[in-house]
Amino acid sequence: MQASPAITAQQVPIALGDRAYNILIGQALIGDAATWADLPVAHAALIVTNDTVAPLYAARLRTQLASRHAVVHQVTLPDGEEHKTWQTLNLIFDGLLSNGCDRKTVIYALGGGVVGDMAGFAAASYMRGVPFVQVPTTLLAQVDSSVGGKTAINHPLGKNMIGAFYQPQRVVCDLDTLTTLPARELSAGLAEVIKYGPIADMAFLDWIEANMAALLAREPAALAHAVRRSCEIKAWVVGQDEREAGLRAILNFGHTFGHAIESGLGYGEWLHGEAVGCGMVMATQLSLRLGLVDAAFADRLTALIGAAGLPLKGPRLGAARYMELMRVDKKAEAGEIRFVVIDGPGRAAMRAAPDALVAEVIDACCA
Residues with catalytic roles: 128, 150, 192, 234, 244, 248, 252, 255, 259, 272
Give the separation between CA 91 and CA 75, rounded to whole angstroms. Answer: 7
Distances (CA, A) of 353 to 255, 258, 278: 16, 17, 19
Q: How buried is residue 287: exposed, middle or buried, by Cβ count under 10 Å (0-12/13-18/19+)?
A: buried
Give me the amino acid identity at 241: D
Helices and strands (H, E) in the chain, number of each type: 12, 11
- Are 188 and 273 within 8 A, CB to CB? yes
Q: How buried is residue 77: exposed, middle or buried, by Cβ count under 10 Å (0-12/13-18/19+)?
A: buried
Give the separation between CA 158 and CA 136, rounded to whole angstroms. Answer: 24
Distances (CA, A) of 294 to 141, 201, 344: 31, 18, 9
- Are 266 and 341 within 8 A, CB to CB? no
Closest CA to 195 of 115, 263, 281: 281
For residue 193, what is the enclosing H or E element? helix 183-200
Give the separation between CA 126 and CA 288, rounded to whole angstroms. Answer: 46
- Are 231 and 217 within 8 A, CB to CB? no
The dihedrals phi and psi of 190, each to the nearest 5 degrees, come to -65, -25
CA atoms within a 13 Å half-sphere pointing along the CA-CB vector of 295: 0
Residue 106, number of CB atoms within 10 A of its CB: 25
